Structure 1
Amino acid sequence: MMKLDLEQERKDAGTAGPEQRERRESSGGVAQATVAELQAMIRDGRLKPGDTLPPQRDLARNLSVSRATLREALSILATIGEIAARPGGRGFICADPTDMPATPSWRFAARYSLREVYQFRYVVESYAAELAAMGHTEQEIVDLKECTLAFRNAARADDLSAYARADFDFHHLIMRISRNKLLVDMHQTFSSVMLESQRLPTLRRGDLLIAVQEHDQILEAIAMSDPDGANYYMRKHISMAGSRAGLPPSELP
């Protein structure tokens, strides 16, 4: 997936209207760049544990991004534990890295339980992997390998936001390779829910390369045109991901 450069976004910000900016940023590339810039502010001490982040209006203007993109970036940082909501729910503070919650919070709890999300993924994504194994092009296998490489590189760099994005991209690409337009549309429609479920395991900070190895198994089965293997390894991966996200054994799919 092509990602937009934050510096180019800044150059364009003065000439693009809000609607144009929001459409251009919807790919997620600028949100990821915004996450990286905010992380840099945390690392170099411009934002210290306990500091209140500037109001979103000011922060979006300073970073030359839309409010929608900033909200997405803040959501990513909150999910991976680098910022936290202020008491009372207005604004964010820079989190103390020694005070990370043992159990990740699930921000879509009012709509879907985490168990329901992983049940959905278990059924839908395993079937998509099966279909992908039965009909794919050489270029699509190359694309999957690129996604897996990005996933591995993010794991080695301990870049949690890039890690979750590469995870999502791999799964969404399998949906596209399945050639089932309804599956693709469903995954895209609920992309924010899917992506959030893929961010949660990063909070528990286990070995990030375990999921990379699971992707390797799925990719190998698809490349070998082994639908049963692709289905099996995807189901195994989703179940393990649910465990890493904090689901108890009794609720795993």
Structure 2
Amino acid sequence: MMKLDLNVEGTAPSPSPDLPRERREASVGVAQATVAALRSMIRDGRLRPGDTLPPQRDLARDLSVSRATLREALSILATIGEIVAREGGRGFVCADPSGAPATPSWRFAARYSLSEVYQFRFIVESYAAELAALTHTNQEIADLKECTTTFRNAAREKDLNAYAQADFDFHNLIMRISRNKLLVDMHQTFASVLLESQRLPTERRGNLLFAVQEHDRILEAIAMGDPDGANYYMRKHISMAGSRAGLPPSQLP
């Protein structure tokens, strides 16, 4: 089995922020389609619990995708707990669904569907990140770094309450940095709904550090004054967070 080209935290490389937005978004769309194809292989029994996934080169060839796209798809599946890394980090095996927790209930279902919440976040928070890249101060970047440190520590300690709160605080701070008072007020108005959407992924099996790394990329783009990159990485983060919360690919923003 060929060792997957993942970084030390276990995630696949992301498209470069130097790429045009259209190419970035196309790469995300192909990755999501690859995720759907792999999930179909798992659900129709071609890949069964405990099976080792074929080598990257074979999977990429069979699915007619690049190795980079395949790595991205595998990262998503590992994030949502459908595959797990083999001991020593050499490849992946299909997870045993009997050992996975049920998809947590969404307690705001009478008011908004979970997919509606992630659609809202996808639109609003990506634009806020774009504005934040244009309006931030050095102190605000330092505050965002402090949020990511708290988030990372909570992930490593598996303190799920602190993890969800640090996640919310990071996004709330980006709203404030955007300098758009209506966005800030909207985020505060729906704070309980948004915090709950950020708590759901902690109830499902998966590596908590994936979201931390996504925050790192958003922060880096904001700090570099790159509005397109900040928008792109926030949209990608929200979409992947929706996967971790239990949304099927067809309902992801």
TM-score in terms of structure 2 length? 0.61
Unmatched runs of 5 consecutive residues or more in structure 2: 1-97
Corresponding residue of 1:125: 125
Give the share of equivalent positions with the same residue, in percent.
84
Corresponding residue of 1:241: 241
Q: For 1:4-57, what per-residue CA distance to the aligned partner results, in whole angstroms no more than 9, with x for missing partners? A: xxxxxxxxxxxxxxxxxxxxxxxxxxxxxxxxxxxxxxxxxxxxxxxxxxxxxx
What secondary structure does 1:183 align onto? Answer: helix
Within 5 Å, give how 1:176-215 maps onto structure 2: 176-215=176-215
Q: Is the 8 A contact 2:204 2:244 kept in 1?
A: yes
Letter in 2 for 1:159: D
CA distance in 2, matches of 1:135, 1:103: 38
What secondary structure does 1:187 align onto? Answer: helix
What secondary structure does 1:109 align onto? Answer: coil
Q: Could you tell me how far 1:100 is from its partner in structure 2?
A: 7.5
What secondary structure does 2:136 align onto? Answer: coil
Within 5 Å, give how 1:33-52 maps onto structure 2: none
Letter in 1 for 2:235: R
Q: For 1:65-98, what per-residue CA distance to the aligned partner results, in whole angstroms no more than 9, with x for missing partners? A: xxxxxxxxxxxxxxxxxxxxxxxxxxxxxxxxx9
Letter in 1 for 2:234: M
Within 5 Å, give how 1:1-253 maps onto structure 2: 101-253=101-253
CA distance in 1, matches of 2:191, 2:132: 20
Letter in 1 for 2:206: G
Letter in 1 for 2:222: I
Greater relative contact order structure (CA < 8 Å, 6+ sep): 2
CA distance in 2, matches of 1:117, 1:142: 29
Corresponding residue of 2:29: none
Letter in 2 for 1:174: I
TM-score in terms of structure 1 length? 0.61
CA distance in 2, matches of 1:112, 1:145: 32
Q: Could you tell me how far 1:114 is from its partner in structure 2?
A: 0.1
Q: Could you tell me how far 1:102 is from its partner in structure 2?
A: 1.6
CA distance in 1, matches of 2:100, 2:232: 34
CA distance in 2, matches of 1:226, 1:100: 39
Q: Could you tell me how far 1:99 is from its partner in structure 2?
A: 9.0
Q: Could you tell me how far 1:245 is from its partner in structure 2?
A: 0.1
Unmatched runs of 5 consecutive residues or more in structure 1: 1-97
CA distance in 1, matches of 2:105, 2:162: 20
Note the aligned Cα RMSD (angstroms): 1.3
CA distance in 2, matches of 1:164, 1:205: 15
The alignment covers a number of residue pairs equal to 156
Corresponding residue of 1:57: none
Q: For 1:89-116, what per-residue CA distance to the aligned partner results, in whole angstroms no more than 9, with x for missing partners? A: xxxxxxxxx9984211100000000000
